[in-house]
C-alpha cells in the first residue's frame, strides 16, 4: 500500500493517511492490539515524508501552463469589468467618449450606440448624455455597455496579454510553490514539527514574489489595455509590446545610461502588486491546503481523478474568494498606479499615498471598488488553475506507475 503512493503530492498522501489512521485507531481501540497501534503510527510517520519529488520542474510547468490558459480565457471578461470599474473611480474619462459617440456623423467610434437617455440636439450643438450613458454602475452594467458600445470581443480585450502573463507567471509560481513546500515540509517535519503548518504561508509568499517580479511588465501592459477605450476608427488597438513602448517613450532620452534607468518605469506599481499578491498568496494557500486535505480525507482512502478535481476546485474556489475580498483595496491601488499616464507622478507615487488618496476620494466604498467582479473572478480562477494543475500531475503520476 505505501509503495503505491510514492510520487503523490503530500496533501494527497496526508489526507489518505489520515483516513487510514482514523480507521486503524478505531480497530485498535476495539481489539486492544499493540501491533495494530504500532502499524498505524508508522504509517502516519511515513505519510509525512511522502512528496512528489519525482516530477520534474518541466512537468510541473507544463501542468501549470495548461491551467493558466484555461483560466485566463474563461475569466477575462470579469477582469475587464473589475479594471473598468476601478479605472472609472480613478477618473478615466469614459464620459467624453460616449458624448462623441452621440453624433450621427461620428467618425471616432462609429460602432458605439447611445442609450435612449442620450438626446441629440440640432446639428452643431453638443449632445447631452444622461448619467447612464457611459457611467458604469455594476459588473453586469460593464458587460452590457462594453458589448453595446464596443462589441462582444472587447470583453476579451487584453486576453493575449493575460495569456502572455498567466502562462509564464503560473508556470513559475506553482512549480516553485510545490518544490518549496515539499522540501520545507520535509525539513520541518524532521526538525521543527510545530512550524510545518506555516510552510504554505512562506512557500506561497516567496514563490509569488519571484513570479510577480519576473513577469510584472506584462501585467502593466494588460491593465492598461483593459482600462482604456480605443478612440481611433480603423486602427488596430496596440498589443502588449506597443503598449509597453508607449509607457517607455515619454521618458526616453539620448543618453543610453538614462535610457537604461528609464526602463524601471515598466515596474511602476510593483510595490502595490507585491503588496496585493503576497498577502493574497498567504491567505489563499493557508486556506487551501488544510481545506483540500480535509475534503479529500472525507472522500475516502484511495484518490481518483474525480476526487482530486473536486477537492482542489472546491478548496481553490473558497480560498481564492476569501483572499480576493481581503486584498481588494491593494488591488485598487495597484490599478490606479498602473493606469497613471503622467510619468513623473507615476514614478513618485507610493502604495501608501495611493491608498490614502483613494480613501480621501471614495472612503471605504472606494477601497473596495470592483470587489464583486474581483471575487467572482478569483474564486473560479484559483479553483480552475489548482484543480487542473493537480489533475494533470496526478495523471502523470498514474501513467508513470502503470508503466
> Would you state the cell numbers that stand for residue 101, as one nine-digit string?
459617440
Q: Is residue 87 in some structural domain?
A: yes
- Residue 318 pLDDT grade (very low, low, confident, very high; cuts 50, 70, 90): very high
Q: How far apart are CA 312 and CA 174, in angstroms?
A: 14
What is the predicted pLDDT for the residue at 375?
A: 93
What is the predicted pLDDT for the residue at 80?
A: 85
Neighbours of 51 (CB within 10 A): 21
pLDDT of 73 above 80? yes
Q: How far apart are CA 91 and CA 355, in angstroms?
A: 15
Choose among 362, 287, 296, 289: nearest CA to 328.
Answer: 362
pTM equals 0.67
- Residue 393 pLDDT grade (very low, low, confident, very high; cuts 50, 70, 90): confident
pLDDT of 284 above 90? yes
Q: pLDDT, tens digit, for every residue of 189-216?
A: 999 999 998 999 999 999 999 999 988 8
pLDDT of 275 above 90? no
Q: Is residue 272 in some structural domain?
A: yes
Give residue 248's domain range: 3-23+57-92+155-402
What is the predicted pLDDT for the residue at 133?
A: 60
Mean pLDDT of the chain: 74
Mean pLDDT of 348-353: 83
Longest Cα–Cα distance of the chain, Å, equals: 96
Choose among 179, 183, 205: nearest CA to 196.
Answer: 183
**Total domain count for the chain?**
1
What is the predicted pLDDT for the residue at 24?
A: 43
Q: Is residue 140 in some structural domain?
A: no
Q: Is residue 297 in some structural domain?
A: yes
Q: pLDDT, tens digit, for every residue of 12-62?
A: 666 655 544 443 444 333 334 334 444 444 444 333 333 454 677 887 888
Between residues 187 and 91, which one has the greater pLDDT? 187
pLDDT of 336 above 70? yes
> Would you state the cell numbers that stand for residue 394, as one nine-digit string?
496526478
Q: Please enumerate in sequence order all residues whose Cβ is within 8 A of that of 309, keeping only pairs 6 or more positions apart, or say none.
A: 387, 390, 391
Mean pLDDT of 394-401: 78
Q: Is residue 118 in some structural domain?
A: no
Mean pLDDT of 331-336: 87
What is the predicted pLDDT for the residue at 176?
A: 92
Q: pLDDT, tens digit, for every residue of 182-195?
A: 899 989 999 999 99
Choose among 392, 281, 391: nearest CA to 326.
Answer: 281
Q: How far apart are CA 329 and CA 27, in angstroms?
A: 52
Mean pLDDT of 129-135: 60
pLDDT of 372 above 50? yes
Choose among 222, 326, 255: nearest CA to 284.
Answer: 326
Place of cell 508607449: 246
**Which of 96-100, 127-131, 307-311 is the least confident region?**
96-100
Place of cell 503588496: 275
Q: How far apart are CA 346 and CA 350, in angstroms?
A: 9
Q: Is residue 285 in some structural domain?
A: yes
pLDDT of 340 above 60? yes
What is the predicted pLDDT for the residue at 50?
A: 35
Q: How far apart are CA 276 and CA 367, in angstroms?
A: 13
pLDDT of 287 above 90? yes
Instruction: Tell me the CATH number at 393.
Output: 1.50.40.10
Mean pLDDT of 105-126: 41
Mean pLDDT of 345-371: 87
Between residues 219 and 106, which one has the greater pLDDT? 219
**Which of 101-110, 114-123, 272-281 is the least confident region?**
101-110
What is the predicted pLDDT for the residue at 337?
A: 83
pLDDT of 398 above 60? yes
Q: pLDDT, tens digit, for every residue of 145-181?
A: 888 888 888 888 767 777 877 788 888 998 999 899 9
**Which of 55-64, 78-87, 262-271 is the least confident region?**
262-271
Q: Is residue 39 in some structural domain?
A: no
| Gyration radius from the chain CA atoms | 25
Choose among 81, 94, 218, 228: nearest CA to 161.
Answer: 218
Amino acid at each position: 500500500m505505501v509503495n503505491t503512493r510514492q510520487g503523490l503530492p503530500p496533501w494527497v498522501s496526508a489526507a489518505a493517511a489520515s483516513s487510514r489512521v482514523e480507521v486503524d485507531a478505531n480497530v485498535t481501540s476495539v481489539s486492544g492490539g499493540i501491533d495494530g497501534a504500532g502499524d498505524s503510527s508508522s504509517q502516519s510517520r511515513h505519510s509525512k515524508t511522502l512528496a512528489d519529488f519525482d516530477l520534474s520542474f518541466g512537468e510541473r510547468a507544463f501542468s501549470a501552463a495548461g491551467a493558466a490558459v484555461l483560466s485566463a480565457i474563461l475569466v477575462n471578461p470579469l477582469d475587464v469589468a473589475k479594471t473598468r470599474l476601478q479605472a472609472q473611480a480613478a477618473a478615466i474619462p469614459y464620459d467624453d467618449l460616449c458624448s462623441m459617440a452621440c453624433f450621427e456623423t461620428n467618425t471616432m467610434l462609429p460602432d458605439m450606440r447611445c442609450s435612449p437617455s442620450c438626446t441629440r440636439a440640432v446639428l452643431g450643438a453638443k449632445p447631452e448624455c444622461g448619467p447612464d450613458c457611459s457611467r458604469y454602475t455594476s459588473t453586469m452594467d460593464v458587460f452590457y455597455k462594453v458589448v453595446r458600445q464596443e462589441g462582444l470581443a472587447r470583453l476579451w480585450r487584453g486576453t493575449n496579454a493575460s495569456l502572455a502573463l498567466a502562462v509564464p507567471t503560473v508556470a513559475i509560481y506553482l512549480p516553485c510553490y510545490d518544490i518549496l513546500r515539499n522540501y520545507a515540509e520535509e525539513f520541518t517535519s524532521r526538525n521543527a514539527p510545530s512550524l510545518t503548518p506555516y510552510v504554505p504561508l512562506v512557500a506561497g509568499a516567496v514563490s509569488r514574489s519571484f513570479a510577480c517580479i519576473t513577469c510584472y511588465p506584462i501585467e502593466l501592459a494588460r491593465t492598461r489595455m483593459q482600462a482604456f477605450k480605443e478612440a481611433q476608427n480603423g486602427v488596430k488597438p496596440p498589443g502588449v509590446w506597443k503598449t509597453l513602448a508607449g509607457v517607455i517613450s515619454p521618458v526616453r532620452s539620448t543618453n543610453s545610461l538614462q535610457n537604461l534607468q528609464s526602463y524601471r518605469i515598466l515596474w511602476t506599481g510593483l510595490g502595490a502588486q507585491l503588496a496585493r499578491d503576497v498577502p493574497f498568496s498567504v491567505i489563499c494557500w493557508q486556506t487551501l491546503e488544510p481545506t483540500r486535505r480535509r475534503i479529500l480525507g472525507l472522500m475516502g482512502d484511495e484518490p481518483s481523478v474525480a476526487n482530486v478535481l473536486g477537492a482542489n476546485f472546491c478548496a481553490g474556489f473558497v480560498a481564492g474568494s476569501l483572499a480576493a475580498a481581503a486584498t481588494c483595496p491593494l488591488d485598487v491601488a495597484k490599478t490606479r498606479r498602473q493606469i497613471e499616464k503622467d510619468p513623473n507622478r507615476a514614478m513618485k507615487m507610493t502604495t501608501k499615498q495611493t491608498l490614502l488618496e483613494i480613501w480621501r476620494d471614495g472612503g471605504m466604498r472606494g477601497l473596495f471598488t470592483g470587489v464583486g467582479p474581483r471575487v467572482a473572478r478569483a474564486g473560479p480562477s484559483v479553483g480552475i488553475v489548482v484543480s487542473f494543475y493537480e489533475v494533470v500531475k496526478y495523471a502523470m503520476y498514474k501513467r508513470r506507475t502503470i508503466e
